[in-house]
Chain A
Amino acid sequence: MTLLAVEGLRRSFGSLVAVDSVSFEVERGEVVGMIGPNGAGKTTTFNCVSGVLPSDAGTVTFEGADVTEAPPYDLARRGLVRTFQQTRELETLTVTDNMLLPTPDHPGERAWHAVGRTAASEQREQEARERAMDLLGTFDLRGMVEEYAASLSGGQRKLLELARALMLDPSLLLLDEPFAGVNPTLTAEIVEHIEALNADGLTLLIIEHELETLTDLVDRLIVLADGRVLATGTPEAIMENEEVIDAYLGG
């Protein structure tokens, strides 16, 4: 079943067409990689899909609903959650607050409940806190709960960003270069987390420009070049695709 369908997506910046009639689909339960050289339009595609950038043309369908015009907060609530290429922790918040922030449907985020400290708000906060501590345990961040996110190392930031996204219980997670600037040990750890999450039913779309990291992890690859989809297929098929080799791997 198709979870995400992107059809004819186009986005330009001035005279530069960053993404040009890009179409692809992601099936529920898949791990899909999106590769391409720098400037291929990967992040712009992510930005358009996640509502961060408006697209010039094309449609985005998520779980059967047209979400082309949907703002980022709406997509996040629907279960389409993204991370950023440069990790973007909320540095002036503690690790715990970073984790609690995304809690969906929190009554305490409405002024009346916040001022009145209602039971509904306290209960939701307690539930969210338990879930956050579980996730921080899974991601080896339990020792950092009271630290400000600014004090985390680069690797810990990657893990926190992943853990934080899971607080939204996403059905599709878009990861923008989760392995960039990460040492091999941590890369293996992140790969394990991704595999475990996928085994639990999470669908993932992962941007990467190192093909090697993705070949064992993903079911399918989408290759972008110059803002267009060059090829899609299994990692094996992609590695033998002449066009891909010419445009990307050969270079």
Chain B
Amino acid sequence: MTAELGHFALILAFAVAALQGTLPLIGAQRRDSVWMSVAAPAAILQFLLIAVSFWALTRAFVLSDFSLMIVAMNSHTAKPLLYKISGVWGNHEGSMLLWVLVLALFGAAIAVFGGNLRPTLRVRVLAVQGLLGLGFLAFILFTSNPFERLFPIPVDGRDLNPLLQDPGLAFHPPLLYLGYVGLSTTFSFAVAALIEGQADPAWARWVRPWTLASWTFLTGGIVLGSWWAYYELGWGGWWFWDPVENASFMPWLAATALLHSAIVSEKRDALKGWTVFLAIVAFAFSLLGTFLVRSGVLTSVHAFASDPSRGVFILMLLIVSVGGAFALYAWRGPALKGGGLFRPISREGGLVLNNFLLTAAAAAVLLGTVYPLILDVLNGGKISVGAPYFNSVFIPMMVPLVLAMGIGPLLNWKRSELGPTAYRLKISAGLAVLAGIGAWLFIDRASALAAFGVFLAAWLMFATLHELAVRIHLFRVPLGESWRRLRRQPRARWGMTLAHGGLAIVIAGMTASSAWTAESIQVMKPGDRVEVGGRVFTFDGAREVRGPNYAATRGTFRVDSGGGDIVLTPEKRFYDVQGQTTEAAIHPTFLGDLYAVLGDPRGEDGGFVTRLYFNPLVPWMWAGSFIMVLGGFVSLSDRRHRVGAPGRQKAGARATPAPAE
């Protein structure tokens, strides 16, 4: 009965979304406060109803109610509780339910925190959000219903794909969805602005926190996915330019661009049309990603269902929402006149360059992702576009971006001079060059590219620190005064410093792990020793162990290190119901990961195929990413994002002062 109640709540949410998407839109047009008043409560109600529905589905998974089709198909009684829960979104129907849950969550958040928005704008934003919800709820109810029942009820479930039975993957989808779907808010803001015919700095100021939140979650989600690929697929790689990865990377590039262009729109009242356009593009990328992943066009662990009717439905949603938004943009966009003027060499100019490079990069990734698909559809044969394409197109665009990232924050608004600003960075540049030469001399003389990567990472790090030093007047005023200034930096500035510095660390990790990974594949008998990347791995043999829903062969490796042995225990798991997985054993150290994989047994005397790696600086990537995400949250907590609402009681009153920090 809970299941049926969840189903019913979902249908009610559909009805409420229909109201939310229509009445307020008409109301705002007619300046009619009665119909406009429906928006906020409907948004909250829609969220509550979907939450009830989601709870009902989760309960069915936890209690192994196999009378629900998707529970029977994706769960199993012997599965650990965490994976019973993550099984809710480890399948097509449930993941779409999570999608609308997050969509409704953002809608409700705008309804609750949007009290300071201009009423017509707020209501229109909520209405667009409601229309998106309506589309996706229709998609769920009529093509992918998670509450479809099954009779006769099977004895046990078919279990979740064992690759997905993993803690990293349990949280990857929710985070990614918070990011993906979070971009729906900026989309709704953009469409609402176009309907209003007004995108002023006030609008940009409201868009920024939502973009920032989406960007932060998206970053976290992508990193978790990459981390999972790194330790679960057992090849030591962390990014494969797989279409599914690109599907999440394109919205990230667009969101990063949007994050920066919104600054210009807010501070300088310029680039407004562009910012609105980017907001639409960012969500279009999210929808495109959903389409690619969910339609079965691509086969991967994500392609739970290859049902053409679903693909067609999402494609229609994509065309209607994004096509509609672009049509609206073509019609109303020209009305969005920019205000502030600026010279090419200025903070604005730097941000324009950032936007240009990021969107070009997104376009390049888009081309590489969909070109094979289009060619396939046109019967042009099957080709695959892989890392060589992306590396040769994407990286050259990132190089000027990173170089500019060092200088941009030091440029003045409106007009600035490149020469003197660049000259101020001479120490940073010098240190970076030294780092690059050092890497070339002492680590690897074969790879000039890797040395250049080290230079870039060092440049970005030193320039970011330099910018911080300039802001706190380091060495120009007494240290105590600098310390006081450091503590009084606004959190948004800290956010920037952390995000840019984090990226520098990530670049260092990417460079080192791409260039200097040491790998060794061999058959090892117990007692055998192999040296990989200067570390000696000793194989102590393998034995059978039993997990909750799998049997496993667990190998033991010892690695000599200064203070005692490091023990690595990779496993090869055979799940009772479906499939097998490879569980790499990873021991992170400051300089890199020790990474061991157990393969198939060879020979009679306990020999196994083993793959051993030393992956230098990989932990830096995760740490750097974490710092970037942290930067997002720190910036989000800045008080600038808490614009006071005008007091209703005192018409024409001043802004309510924001609460002190």
A and B held together in a complex: no
